[in-house]
Every structure is written in C-alpha cells, then in structure tokens.
Amino acid sequence: MSSQPQIIARPKVMGIVNATPDSFSDGGRFLAPEAALDHARRLIAEGADILDVGAESTRPGAQPVTAEAEVERLVPLIAAIRAEGSVPVSVDTMKPQVARAAMAAGATIWNDVTALRHAPESLATAADLGCEVVLMHMKGEPRTMQAEPHYDDVVGEVAAFLAERARAAMAAGVAREKIWLDPGIGFGKHMLRHNLPLMAGLDRIVALGFPVLLGASRKAFIGALDGGAGPDQRLGGSIAAALAGASAGVAAVRVHDVRETVQALAVQAAIYKARSS
Ligand code: HH2
C-alpha cells in the first residue's frame, strides 16, 4: 500500500458562468443572455458536473447589483440551462430573494459567499427552500475584505468559522446532507500569507465532515506566484490548485477552464488508482 492519500472519486467540476459585466476573470464577456447560455453549453460539453451562475461580482470595488437586476439576469439563463439537460445549477448570490427566484427557475444549490449572513432571513430561506447550500468563509465584506486581513491561525480560524456556520444552518432547519463548506480562497486573505497555508491545510477543512468546494481558479495568489501573471494567464496554476484540492479530498472544484481541469483530474485519479492497485 502506498502512503499517499487515497482518492476515492475525483472531485466534481463546477463550471463558472458569469452573467456580470465586471467579473475580474473574464471581463464580463458573458453578460448577454445568449452569450452566457452559449458559454454554459460549452462548459457542459466540456464535462462540467455542475454550473455555477452568478450576476454580481464579488471583486473588491465591484459595483453592487440590485436584487431585481440579479433576478433579471439569472432567471432566464437558469431556465434555459435547465431546459437543455440535467446538469445541476448552482446560483452564486448573497441575496435570499435572488436565491428563491433562482430555485423557482430550476437551480438546486445556493452558493453564498457570505455563508448565509447577508440578510437576517438568509438562514430561514435556505431551510425553507430545502436546497443545497455552499457556506463560504469570508473575512469582512467584499468591498473591504482585502484591507489588511489578519489571522493568528488562518486554517484553524476558517475551520472554526465554517463549523459554526454549519451549526447555525442546521439549527435553522437546513438538513446536514445539504451543506457544503468552502474556505473562500482570496476572500479577506493575504495573497500568499493566508491563501497558501489554506491550500496546504485543506485536509483540515475536509475533516469537518462536509463536502468541500474549492474555488481557486484564476485567483490572484496564482499571479503572485508567477510574476504577476494576469487572470487569463493562470491556467497552469489553476490546475495545480485543483489537483491539490483533489489530493486533500475536496468534493468539487469551481473553475473557469472545465475541459483542462477535467483532463488533469482524470489523469491524477488514474495515477492514484494505478499506485494503490
Ligand atoms: N469565488 C468567486 C465567486 N464565488 N463562490 C465560492 N463558493 N467559492 C469561491 O471561491 C468563489 C465563489 C470569485 O470568482 P469569479 O466568479 O471568477 O469572479 P467574480 O467574483 O468577479 O464573479
């Protein structure tokens, strides 16, 4: 037997579909509903297991979007994706009324970067909707989160926060098996001082006993490790991060480059299988 961690199943690949005009990573190229739908179709063809659709950028300094505008951008897109086939849709929103409209249009996962803290009714809405929920760690709020974040023990603090949010969700009536956790790479974390230990400590987040979603694709820490490479130049680093997540046992990776990630994960899983057989 090898002493390497055993990969039981490769993580699911969640493809990112942005219906936002100012997303940092694709410059809002997918704002028009038709273009966003085309992009969704392409990610499905490339092997996405889940699509994550969002209409509000969480980038520091991004313009806030009203709930009405989010609903207007997301609902037709979600309905169209669901009409195409069976790929589950997750909605990236912090607003309970948007989550509700998205579920009515066919989404089944609420991906909330605020871990159901944005509105007083978020927890009760998640319980009422009965959907899966992704509870993500973020220090501060999107506008200010990168202003001097401080941690004494970043992995321990993120794990404690996520365990507390999972408890709060369950106390509000969200079923345990509906809960995902996400360390929130890049959300209120210093580029390398915090994101790297978190990437290295993912197994401690996995050990909390919930499926873990990892979103490291094209994030700034990759650029920081490669001479300031821009978002479009971070594919290699994004794949390295996805493979590190798989080794730590994450259940899903949230990525822009679905085809390349699926291939990398398949090769890694095959090598691990050959090693342990
Ligand atoms: N990262 C982003 C947005 N949503 N959700 C989860 N659960 N985890 C993440 O790491 C995460 C997320 C940021 O990436 P992107 O969507 O590419 O950019 P933008 O925030 O501009 O939409």
**Cα–ligand 1 centroid distance for 149 (angstroms):** 18
Domain assignment present for residue 2? The answer is no
Give the pLDDT mean for 254-277: 95
For the stretch 216-251, pLDDT in tens is: 999 999 999 999 999 999 999 999 999 999 999 999
State the residue range of the domain holding 225: 12-276
Of 77, 84, 92, the residue nearest 35 (C-alpha) = 77
182 lines ligand 1 (CB under 6 A): yes
Q: Residue 17's domain is classified under what CATH number?
A: 3.20.20.20
Domain assignment present for residue 5? The answer is no
Domain assignment present for residue 213? The answer is yes
Give the pLDDT mean for 187-196: 96
95: alpha, beta or left, given left = phi > 0 and alpha = psi -120 to 50? Answer: beta
Domain assignment present for residue 54? The answer is yes
Domain assignment present for residue 24? The answer is yes
- For the question of residue 95 being annotated catalytic, the response is no
- For the question of residue 254 being annotated catalytic, the response is yes
Q: Is the pTM of this model over 0.85?
A: yes
Exactly one of 95, 139, 219, 234 is catalytic; name it: 219
- Structural domain total, the chain: 1
- Give the ligand 1 atom nearest the CA of 111: 7
Domain assignment present for residue 145? The answer is yes
For the stretch 87-117, pLDDT in tens is: 999 999 999 999 999 999 999 999 999 999 9
Percentage of the chain beyond pLDDT 70 is: 93
**Cα–ligand 1 centroid distance for 130 (angstroms):** 23
Domain assignment present for residue 6? The answer is no
- Give the ligand 1 atom nearest the CA of 62: 21
Domain assignment present for residue 206? The answer is yes
